[in-house]
A and B are shown apart, each in its own frame.
Chain A
Amino acid sequence: MILLVDMDAFFASVEQLHHPHLRGHPVVVCGDPGRRGVVTAASYEARPFGVRAGMSLQEARRLCPQAQYVEGNPEKYVALSLRLLDLYLEFTPDVEPFSVDEAFLSVTGVGSTLEGAAKIARDIQTQIDQRVGLGATIGIGPNKLIAKMASSVEKPRGLTAMTPESFREWFWPRDVSEMWGVGPKLAERLKPLGIATVGDLARAKASDLEGAFGVIGPQLREAASGHDLSPLIPYHQGIDPKSMGHEVTLSSDSEDAEYLRGVLLRLSDQVARRMRSEGFRGRTVAIKLRDHKFVTHIRQATLREFTDDHRLIFERAHELFTRLWKGGAVRLVGVSVSHLERRSESFQSELFVHHAREGQLRDAVDQVRDRLGEASLIPAGAMAGRARRSHVPFGAISSRSLIPRSGRRGASSP
Chain B
Amino acid sequence: MFETLNQPVDVLTVFLEGRVRPLRFRWKGRVIRVKKVTGEWSRREGSHRLAYFSVESQGAESYELCYDPRGPNWTLCKAWST
Contact A20 B7 (CB under 8 A): no
A321 to chain B, nearest CB (A): 31
Contact B43 A398 (CB under 8 A): yes
Chain A residues near B66 (CB-CB < 8 A): 400
Complex alpha-carbon distance, A71 and B75, angstroms = 18
Say what secondary structure dominates the interface of chain B. strand
Interface residues on A, range: 35 or more
Contact B38 A79 (CB under 8 A): no
Binary contact readout B44-74 vs A (1 if CB under 8 angstroms, 0 otherwise): 0111000010101000101010100010010
Contact A413 B4 (CB under 8 A): yes
Contact A369 B56 (CB under 8 A): no
Nearest opposing residue in chain A for B2, CB measure: A70
Most chain A CB neighbours (cut-off 10 Å) among B39, B42, B66, B80? B39
Binary contact readout A72-85 vs B (1 if CB under 8 angstroms, 0 otherwise): 01011011100000
Query: Which of A21, A75, A78, A408 contacts B75 (CB under 8 A)?
Result: A408
Complex alpha-carbon distance, A29 and B51, angstroms = 22
Contact B39 A20 (CB under 8 A): no
Query: Which of B43, B45, B52, B60 contacts A21 (CB under 8 A)?
Result: B60
Contact B5 A76 (CB under 8 A): no
Query: Which of B1, B70, B75 contacts A69 (CB under 8 A)?
Result: B1
A173 to chain B, nearest CB (A): 43
* B13 in the interface (beta carbon within 8 A): no
A86 to chain B, nearest CB (A): 14
* A373 in the interface (beta carbon within 8 A): yes
Contact B47 A371 (CB under 8 A): yes
A30 to chain B, nearest CB (A): 12
Contact A400 B8 (CB under 8 A): no
